[in-house]
Structure 1
């Protein structure tokens, strides 16, 4: 996943909260929690960076912490909050 391009799903909106953010998927009507502001920062940076590793670096996440963030991103991917995109695409087109 570190060498792949990902982005926030076009059907998902983030609402900032003191603990991090709520992610609401308008297609599935599912609500997910991003439990830290740092994770929210990473998710927001995904679409502007070539890879997950680049997004983590730009968000200031230290290399020893990358596995925890990758695990969180995999969970978000499993629920459709983040989606894989081709490496050459800057971001998926919103569909809302």
Structure 2
């Protein structure tokens, strides 16, 4: 599955994005483009919280317990967040 999302790049939350924990998972709000995302998957929330602590998105996924067979699912989720500028390459954060 080709998502266009580079797991081997350093990523982080965009500097204008707030991640707020919620009982269902988390809410992401981008103060620049005013987009709102609701995350119901706790593993995705864990990955997002740790992106800045890892050299690549792949290592953040591995640290969250994602195995090789499940990686494409999370790559797709991260690609969707990148398309809406919720996350960005670290040097652009």
State the TM-score, normalizing by the size of structure 2: 0.87
| Pairing of 1:18-57 with structure 2 (within 5 A) | 18-57=23-62
CA RMSD of aligned residues (A): 1.4
Of residues 79, 82, 85, the one that matches 1:77 is 82
User: After TM superposition, what 4+ stretches of structure 1 lie above 4 angstroms from structure 2?
Assistant: none
**1:6 & 1:44 partners in 2: Cα distance?**
11
**1:77 & 1:35 partners in 2: Cα distance?**
17
CA contact (8 A) 1:20 1:38 kept: no
